[in-house]
Every structure is written in structure tokens, then in C-alpha cells.
Structure 1
């Protein structure tokens, strides 16, 4: 992921989708503030997996599990 401008942070939803937070304007966006593109962390928290497990995806799209 590209470096964020100053006063920006990011967070990740349970479905792996990344959103960006402007500390200055107190707004959020799905698009990276420098690139203008959406970002996915590649990790998904699924309710059907045992507690503490997540599903991740390789760049090729193959799934794997993380404890």
C-alpha cells in the first residue's frame, strides 16, 4: 500500500476492506488518498471459522487460513 499523507490513518473492516480516515476533516473514504484506488487487505474475518482464525488470499486469488 502506498504511503499515506500526513494526518491520515487507515483501518480494516472484518471483510478485509480497507478504509482511510482523515484526522484533519474527520471524514473517511474507501479510496487511498494518494492513489485514488480502493485497497483490500487480503484478509477476511469469517463468522464460520473458529475464533481467532481469518481467511487470507494470495495475489493470485488462492485462499489460506491464519490463526
Structure 2
């Protein structure tokens, strides 16, 4: 699968994870982004630090960064 960010910017993706409901989260060195595979919209969420790893359980997304671990419901 490819994702078109509609930008001519070079981004280094640090991690990517697909949620069971056909949703995708990915992190670059500056922000956390979300993409719904149904409508193909991308939303960006600024985050403290540089995201390095994503993990998900049934209700939470965990984001490990160089300054701590954050969670998003």
C-alpha cells in the first residue's frame, strides 16, 4: 500500500502500525499521523519529542518518543 501525503517533502517514517479497523497510524521525526483507509483522509498530530515506536492494544495507541511514552485513546 502506498500513501500519498500530497507534499513534496522528504519524511523519514520511524514507525507505522495498522489498527484492526482499517486505520493506520504512522510517525515521522516530527509528528504522529493518522489515516482512515475508508475515506483516505490524513490528520497530523504534533507530539513532544521524536516518535520512535508505536504500539496499540484494543483501546489505546502508545507512542514512545525520545522524551517519554504517550498514549492516545
TM-score, normalised relative to structure 2: 0.38
Higher strand share: 2
TM-score by length of 1: 0.40
